[in-house]
Amino acid sequence: MLRRTGWRRALTGLLAGLTATVGLTTALAAPAAAAGGAPVAVTKYSHTSRAGDYIGQGSAAAYTARTATITVGGSAEYARFRVSTDSTWWDVELAAPAGQKLHPGVYRDAERAAFRTGRSPGLDVSGDGRGCNEVYGQFSVDQIETDGSGAITVLDATYTQHCESATAPALKGVVKYRALPLSYAHTSDSGDYIGQGTSARHTGATSTFGLRAWGDGVQYDVSGKREYYTALLTPPTGQRLEAGRTYETRRSSDETFGGLDVHGNGRGCNTSTGEFTVTRLARGDDGAVEAFAATFVQHCEGAAAALRGTIHYYA
């Protein structure tokens, strides 16, 4: 084994109505504090190591900006993420195939980043003086953004690394630098018409997302992995969506009930009952919702079976 030593965004009107193919964009300023449900960017690192993995030594680790110094360097061609404390350090290198830039997606058949061949992507995770001579693995990029100089300002990725052999025990990790959640997930009971009794999860590595106004509420769209879903969430007539509030729903809102209509893949409800809870919400200067997170439960056509899901749009 080789032994080595170590080497904001504000939610402005730019996000309103955006279809979020999150990629190489000019960085937004740091977000507001969490008051009123407004989102806060996340910076953290964690990994789990299987017994026999040389780098992680079979242990788990987790760090936040409060417990470690976490920095990002490099560019969209070759990103370097470092975590350090007084007693330990971890480096994660993610490299695009030669001549390309990292963008949201899944990068398979990764080789050791500094020595990748041909058009292979690069991955290299090391720490505390331990490094791999050969790397086998893959990584997914959910979000990446750069500023005008090309420096990375937002990074959200996961990785799986095998050291020296494709069959070696795995090191799996999560890398986040000033990242805001962007995802859709649901579970469906047996007998639920919309989800057909299956589960679904979409992230920036595989899917695109959109948020726009829908009456006094929002329309959230997700497309990816040969699937598409739309969620329409509205408050009772004459009200506004509020963070921290749970709304009892019917398919369409009225003076008493909020509206909830989750449909997709050609399937929709004629009638529905359920509820949704707004967990985070941020508005622009014009009052438009620009960042949104919620959970929902929907019963289609009066059935006991439910579709249960979560929505995150930069919140």
**Mind listing the pLDDT tens digit for each residue in 116-169?**
999 999 999 999 999 999 999 999 999 999 999 999 999 999 999 999 999 999
Show the low-confidence residues of the chain (pLDDT under 70).
Answer: 1-38
What Å distances lie between residue 12 and 20, 282, 284, 294, CA to CA?
14, 10, 6, 20
Q: Give me the pLDDT at residue 55, please.
A: 98
Contact between 282 and 12 under an 8 Å Cβ cutoff? The reply is no
Can you give the pTM of this predicted structure? 0.84
Distances (CA, A) of 101 to 74, 107, 151, 186, 311: 12, 12, 12, 31, 28
Give first-to-last CA distance, the chain, whole Å.
42
Contact 16, 284 (CB under 8 A): yes
Chain centroid to CA 154: 12
Phi and psi at 115, nearest 5°, equal -130, 25
Look-up of token digits 């490099």: 74
15 phi and psi angles, rounded to 5 deg? -90, -20
Token code pair at residue 123:
């991955």
User: In Å, how far are 63, 122, 132 from 45, measured between CA atoms?
Assistant: 5, 19, 20
d(CA 84, CA 90): 7
What pLDDT is recorded for position 295? 98
pLDDT value of residue 39:
77
Give the pLDDT of residue 37. 60
Q: What is the pLDDT of residues 83-115, one digit of tens each?
A: 999 999 999 999 999 999 999 999 999 999 999
